[in-house]
Structure 1
Amino acid sequence: MSVKMIGTEESSDDLREKMVAINRVTKVVKGGRILGFAALTVVGDGDGGVGMGKGKSREVPVAVQKAMDEARRKMIKIKLKNGTIYHPIIASHGAAKIYMQPAPEGTGIIAGGPMRAIFEVMGMTNILAKCIGSTNPYNVVRATLKGLTKMNTPANIAAKRNKSIKEIMGHGND
């Protein structure tokens, strides 16, 4: 039996925290079963910083705290363009495949469950996202973070091509 909670929010040290999922897990030993809990959380700074953490324990609060601590340690920084992404992205992890697309101002976050939690904690305001295939929260979160990290900004592309950002954006001297 798995218990899922999406969107429990607490705040400390200027970070936004969201619990994505809690699963009840059992370990079978010679004397019977040992019950435990596994928690998946995401933490963000509201300005493009985001991290994912997993925690396991015999009690829910301890598992959640372990997950939050791991998420804080594993934070990465993603560049945003006016609260959205720079270009459409397709990424996958396992059988979870996700599609993300930039959206105009006023659209909001159109995404399901685990992806919505990531976008909210990292401060994204406008994005369209779709999960195709597996909807396992662990794999969806990993696929989303993988896609966000492989996003190219105009500065990255300009550096690779040894050109200025103006030339890349089409404002160069022709």
Structure 2
Amino acid sequence: MSFNMEEWEPKTNVGRMVKDGTITDIDEIFEKGLSIMELEIIDALLPDLEEEVMDVNLVQRMHKSGRKVNFRVIVAVGNKNGYVGLGQGKAREVGPAIRKAVDNAKYNIIKVRRGCGDWGCVCGRQHTVPFKVDGKAGSVNVTLMPAPAGVGLAIGDVGKTIMSLAGYEDVWSQTSGQTQTTINFANAVFDALKEVCKVKASENDLKAMGVISK
């Protein structure tokens, strides 16, 4: 369903600022530490998000009224240009579970850094992670490392989907643990991407890694 800005009636201050044009870039929201409480904010500021369903699983649990069966879905969203989110949803039917997962992924959107951090690459493009980062979820550990242009995404399919949606073209990786567990592998990769945002570096260092244009 396409988003219609005219029909949207914001319920929060941030939403109203987006609709009236006071905020025109999602980076303003991130930089000010504002909370995103309405999905329409994401739809308005990141209209080109793509969605990928990475896993659909049946989850059973015992209840006093009998066995309950739900579908658990894992979805990644991204615009392939520096923004990516990961979410999951549960419902008795696949369709509603997917919609819940997509909404959850949008609420979890982060901005990632991209650069040219490999010592053997001097292309200057924002195609890889600018430095080595680690992520963990459950038993799964993931390390993402800068790679020269042309290597591609040297990581498992789940990680490849998330990295591609974030806008990365090349990466080296190391993984350990039960990586066949999709939810943990996906969360570990996403955790590593969060670390890309958290690492503090000077402007000169960021320029040297290609994160900021010289």
**TM-score interval, normalised by the smaller of the two chains:** 0.7 to 0.9
Contact persistence 2:134–2:195 (CA under 8 A): no
User: In structure 1, what is the equivalent of residue 143 of structure 2?
Assistant: 99
Partners of 2:111 and 2:175 in 1: how far apart? 22
Partners of 1:43 and 1:114 in 2: how far apart? 13
Partners of 2:206 and 2:55 in 1: how far apart? 45
For structure 2, the residue ranges without an aligned partner over 5 or more in a row are 1-45, 116-125, 209-214
Please state if 1:71 is matched with 2:105. Answer: yes
Higher strand share: 1
Contact persistence 1:112–1:130 (CA under 8 A): no
Contact persistence 1:110–1:127 (CA under 8 A): yes
User: In structure 1, what is the equivalent of residue 167 of structure 2?
Assistant: 123
Partners of 2:160 and 2:97 in 1: how far apart? 22
User: In structure 1, what is the equivalent of residue 16 of structure 2?
Assistant: none
Please state if 1:19 is matched with 2:53. Answer: yes
- Across the aligned residues of Structure 1 and Structure 2, the Cα RMSD in angstroms comes to 2.4
Poorly superposed stretches of 4+, deviation over 6 Å = none
User: In structure 2, what is the equivalent of residue 44 of structure 1?
Assistant: 78
User: In structure 2, what is the equivalent of residue 4 of structure 1?
Assistant: none
Tell me the amino acid that sits aligned with residue 147 of structure 1: A
User: In structure 2, what is the equivalent of residue 138 of structure 1?
Assistant: 183
Choose from 90, 102, 108 the match for 1:56.
90
Q: Deviation per CA, 1:127-171: give whole Å up to 9, x if none.
A: 1223211212222222212222222799x421xxxxx517994xx
Contact persistence 2:111–2:197 (CA under 8 A): no
Shift of residue 20, structure 1, vs aligned partner = 1.5
Contact persistence 1:86–1:153 (CA under 8 A): no
How high is the TM-score relative to the length of structure 2? 0.64
Partners of 1:168 and 1:83 in 2: how far apart? 14
Partners of 2:131 and 2:47 in 1: how far apart? 32
Figure out how many residues of one structure are paired with residues of the other and give that number: 152
User: In structure 1, what is the equivalent of residue 42 of structure 2?
Assistant: none
